[in-house]
A and B are shown apart, each in its own frame.
Chain A
Amino acid sequence: MKVLVTVKEVAEPEDDFQISGLEIDEKFLEYDLNEWDDYAVEEAVQLKEENDEVEEVVAVTIGPERSEETIRMALAKGADRAVRVWDDAFEAGEVLDPNAKARVLAAVAEEEDPDLIFTGVQADDDSIGGTGVALADELGFQWAAVVNAFEYDIDSGVANVHRELEGGVEEVTEVEAPAVFTIQTGINEPRYASLRGIRQAQSKEIAPKTLGDLGLDDSAIETPVGITDMYEPETEADTEYIEGSADEMAEGIAEILRKKGVAE
């Protein structure tokens, strides 16, 4: 059996940044593997390590050539190979419609024919949180969103998962494969890539694909959803700042605590 993991290279702005047009200026951005996807990769790799039946873990991403460095981290942590989809059509900007992204990922999934797909719950940068479930719908797979415990019975093809609801409550759900699971942080302890893993990753395949390679055209990612403005939120807070040295800040905080009567 095969496991597909969707991964995304996400941009993270520095503490101080500037917006130019509808984007944060490139020079204030750093790139990294999306935190949720790190857990999704780990879950897939652990499943393979624990079950001989899992033959391959394939990572799939939508990203420019730059993102190969990040995708290689997933390979260094144990994914066997990767597929990277990119096309001029993506240059127009972030695709904000999860169902548009899902059409692209589904085309890869149809070629790969996985039994299980792991995605992160959401991406750090755009926080959409819908691509995994949209992908399941597009493929006609079952799914579970926001999974923080995962057990899979290979013989029956049934996954027993916990979905992390609000307020410390978890829903226990059985889901039949083939299925997509959106993975929540904390489900496992993502490993650090070993030196050996990093070395091996250099020779693992990252196959580039265009929309055309997948039998799609630009219309697959066309969406009526678009950003028309980006700005730094105006703070409504009337926060009172305690200035000065660390000692002066401590003094100021202590004064507040005593005034509120919670500490003496």
Chain B
Amino acid sequence: MSDVLAITEHRQGELRDVSHEVVTAGSELAEAAGGDLHLGVIGGDVDAFADAVNLEGVDTIHTVDEGEEFNHDIYTQAVEQLFDATGASLLLIPHTVNGMDYAPAVAGKLDVPVVTDAIELGYNGGLEVTREMYGSKVETTVDVDSDEAIVTTRPAEWTPTEADGDASVEAFDADIDESAVGSTVTGFEEAAGGDVDLSESEFIVSIGRGIEEEENLELVEALAETVGADLGSSRPLVDNGWLPKNRQVGQSGKVVTPDVYIAIGISGAVQHVAGMKGADTIIAVNTDPSAPIFDIADYGAVGDLFDVVPALIEEFGGEAP
């Protein structure tokens, strides 16, 4: 029998979706391991957050009323203490930017192995984690031969639990060593403002690394203009400074939900897919037939964008540059 402790996440007063997802992952794992599911709610309006995550499958919610926003020094200490106090042997933390900022430190402090970015969990006397390698080209099964383990769970892999539960809520009095708090969050900035908000777009033509050179961008710009779509892109083009941040679709950019999304020369890295899989119809054009983008596309064309895009422009009466 192994109890599971899962940690929720919030930002700027809002509980994040991953909190509901980690409840699903946690309750499935607790059931398989024959234990209880404990949830940790740390910082912010803990009572309101505890109420919101009082969901089916949760046995006990522990609130830690320390700080308004995420601070990794507070989280590290609080989670370490919660793990000890609850007697849980399995700890789940969302594999978010903030999860990445404290999960390895908790593992170090507790001297418990950590497996990151899990997409599936199994328990068969021991923990079995499914995770990807090589940009989603392979999946691996990872066994953890240890009574205790920490796993970070990839966002949007588990269906969020929405059904209400009847967990007991307990305030946990964490002993936070303020002298160990060496980082200070001073604020937030919105980085993706600008002329267009892709989250509102109904039709997006999106371009990735396949475009090769900055000067080739005019080709997809011509396509977007001809068909009346907004231009989006994957991360590398924004990293290169070829397109502004507000054009970036993905986990750290915009999450978009258009009627049609055409992914051109985009391999379909998980961070990109997180931002566009909500599109009604996805069309992918890529030279690599094994590109992960084809796994989520409704329609696929295995071809060279430098041939297909000009032909498509002509189809709609435009002129390729």
Residue from B144, B227, B308 in contact with A257 in the complex, judged by beta carbons closer than 8 Å:
B227
B141 touches A227 (CB 8 A): yes
B116 touches A145 (CB 8 A): no
Selected interface stretch from A51-59, A72-80, A132-140: A132-140
**Does B85 sit at the interface, judged by CB under 8 A?**
no
Restricting to A154-186, which residues have a CB under 8 Å from any CB of B? 162-176, 179, 182, 185-186
B311 touches A246 (CB 8 A): yes
A15 touches B288 (CB 8 A): yes
Dominant SS among interface residues on chain A: mixed
A252 cross-chain contacts in B, Cβ below 8 A: 299, 301
B297 touches A239 (CB 8 A): yes
Closest to A142 in B: B182
B188 touches A96 (CB 8 A): no
Number of chain B interface residues as a range:
35 or more
Residue from A99, A223, A228, A247 in contact with B141 in the complex, judged by beta carbons closer than 8 Å:
A228
Inter-chain residue pair count (beta carbon < 8 A) = 281
Interface centre among A165, A223, A230, by most chain B C-beta atoms within 10 angstroms, is A165
Restricting to B241-295, which residues have a CB under 8 Å from any CB of A? 241, 245-246, 248, 251-255, 259-260, 262, 280-281, 283-285, 288-290, 294-295
Residue count of chain A within 8 Å CB distance of chain B: 87
B303 cross-chain contacts in A, Cβ below 8 A: 246, 249
Residue from B97, B108, B134, B241 in contact with A102 in the complex, judged by beta carbons closer than 8 Å:
B108
Mask of A226-260 contacts with B, CB within 8 angstroms, 1/0: 11111111011101111000110111111011001
B142 cross-chain contacts in A, Cβ below 8 A: 96, 225-228
Residue from A239, A250, A263 in contact with B203 in the complex, judged by beta carbons closer than 8 Å:
A263
Query: How far, in whole Å, are A173 and B102 apart by their CA atoms in the complex?
Result: 15
Shortest Cβ gap from B210 to chain A (Å): 13
B187 touches A186 (CB 8 A): no
Residue from B134, B192, B300 in contact with A13 in the complex, judged by beta carbons closer than 8 Å:
B134
Restricting to A118-149, which residues have a CB under 8 Å from any CB of B? 121, 124-134, 136-138, 142-146
Interface centre among B141, B236, B241, by most chain A C-beta atoms within 10 angstroms, is B141
Residue from A98, A126, A240, A254 in contact with B114 in the complex, judged by beta carbons closer than 8 Å:
A98
B260 touches A242 (CB 8 A): no
| Known interface pairs A127-B132, A128-B117, A260-B260; A239-B299 also in contact (CB < 8 Å) | yes
| Known interface pairs A130-B116, A230-B140; A189-B100 also in contact (CB < 8 Å) | no
| Known interface pairs A229-B140, A233-B136, A250-B314; A130-B183 also in contact (CB < 8 Å) | no
Query: How far, in whole Å, are A168 and B295 apart by their CA atoms in the complex?
Result: 26
Starting from the known contacts A97-B113, A99-B104, A173-B186, 8 additional A-B residue pairs (CB-CB under 8 Å) come to A124-B135, A130-B104, A130-B107, A143-B72, A145-B72, A226-B142, A233-B132, A260-B280
21 cross-chain CB contacts under 8 A: A24-B134, A127-B135, A130-B100, A133-B103, A142-B182, A142-B183, A163-B101, A164-B191, A169-B11, A170-B188, A171-B70, A173-B183, A179-B182, A185-B239, A224-B146, A226-B142, A227-B140, A235-B295, A236-B295, A246-B303, A262-B229
